[in-house]
Structure 1
């Protein structure tokens, strides 16, 4: 039996997308149980709350980028946000998200590459748990901005440690200076309660 720590080790030490997808393939069916009940994962709740309070109403079209099994989408749905697409690179995780019956579309795509989505398509993007060790790097910020409408909201987490090591902050500042987006909120929130791991929760507005 694979322990919680061994599972996380496989995910965060993946050397390429193939290894990462293999890890998630093995984990998909148990992901919700392990993360929420096992690790005390709470970042999805904080992310949904941050996005919801920055949106004008519940009718906005939302992309759940790196949706995993749909934990963030589930929280948003409970808050009245029912127009959402799910996007993830793992077919098995998308299959789990599909079972929640909360998304319009289920898109299998790699956030480290250009997305087959039109410009200015969504009112908001939420991206929770994706900017972290062994996952998606800071270059993906520009693509999230591209698919978001002017004045739209982008809300994402960056796990502590990776925030400092992976150049996320430098890229965020660069995009601010280029007037691609403006920072609305940044706060430290709990990521995994079990190990007292935190993350940065960032909310941006896309510039007109």
Structure 2
């Protein structure tokens, strides 16, 4: 029971963070046990595996080892590791927490890992990536929907953005509105925003947003 209480405490702190410094400190402290905490049956954090499978599905006949991927908010590297298992070999990761990046580095899935504040413009070139993933970061008290425009900017035409957005903030925080504007401006095609498992053991669901960049 104590372990469950501890894990809920981490999540509660993450969802009520009071700014970047608070978030960075939290994730630096949590990094060493993050994977273990979220893999327990009462959490069952399946989003990274599902996201990697989603990328592979929409790329269809394009081999994953031929595409360049940015894993934004990569954390401990769960998404990158899942993508690497499916054949991806050219993955960059960015995250706010140096402690999380230290854990991600041990996966050997990433070519480059950098500490980055996603609330600011990315220091990446236009059209730099075939795919951008952002799993577990578009959540309470983290990065707002404005970052989606940056993801579009760094993604090549006909490239893909795959991101999770928690169901309970999909409309209230403005993610749906921002995506609809990107569609209206003919920058992306909204391929899917279906709700599904996120932290399955805890009964938490999220939208798996799939955008195809068209401009």
Task: Provide the TM-score with structure 2 as the length reference.
Answer: 0.94
Q: Does 2:39 align with 1:28?
A: no
CA offsets per residue over residues 20-53 of structure 1, 9 Å max, x none? Answer: 1111111000000001125111111111111111
8 Å CA contact retained: 2:129, 2:154: yes
Aligned length: 208
- Answer with 188-197 or 126-135: which moved more: 188-197
Confirm or deny: 8 A CA contact 1:60 1:124 kept in the other structure.
yes
Q: Could you tell me the TM-score, scaled by structure 1's length?
A: 0.97
1:46 to 28, 34, 50: 50
TM superposition shift of 1:194: 2.3
Verify the 8 A CA contact 2:167 2:207 in the aligned structure 1.
yes
Maintained 8 Å contact 1:42/1:192: yes
Is 1:68 the counterpart of 2:71? The answer is no
Alignment pair present for 1:9 and 2:31: no
Equivalent residues in 2 for 1:71-110 (5 A)?
Answer: 71-110=78-117
> Does the 8 A contact of 2:171 with 2:177 survive in 1?
no
Distance 2:22 2:159 in 1: 34
* 1:183 CA drift (Å): 1.2
Query: Alignment partner for residue 129 of structure 1, among 115, 130, 136?
Result: 136
2:186 equivalent to 1:182: no
